[in-house]
């Protein structure tokens, strides 16, 4: 007695699967500006605003 459904009769047992992870030798896509540069710019801007606030208030 065959227990396999008819829909699987003409298909291969197992299809090739693709991996969802990247290997170490894969080329990384080019990214934008690094995060440490963005953080440095924010710190410099905050320092500039602090100096401007001090000069406005006369401290």
Query: pLDDT tens for residues 6-58?
Result: 565 666 666 666 666 666 676 777 778 899 999 999 999 999 999 999 999 98
Q: Tell me the pTM.
A: 0.47
pLDDT of residue 54: 94
pLDDT of residue 27: 73
pLDDT of residue 43: 98
Helices first, then strands: H and E counts in the chain = 1, 0
pLDDT of residue 50: 96
Question: Measured between alpha carbons, how far is 29 from 57 in angstroms, rounded to an integer?
Answer: 48
Question: Measured between alpha carbons, how far is 23 from 19 in angstroms, rounded to an integer?
Answer: 9
């Amino acid at each position: 007695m065959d227990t396999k459904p008819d829909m699987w009769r003409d298909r291969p047992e197992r299809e090739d699967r693709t991996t969802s992870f990247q290997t170490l030798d894969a080329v990384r896509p080019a990214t934008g500006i690094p995060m440490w540069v963005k953080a440095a710019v924010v710190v410099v801007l905050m320092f500039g605003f602090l100096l401007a606030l001090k000069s406005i208030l006369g401290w």
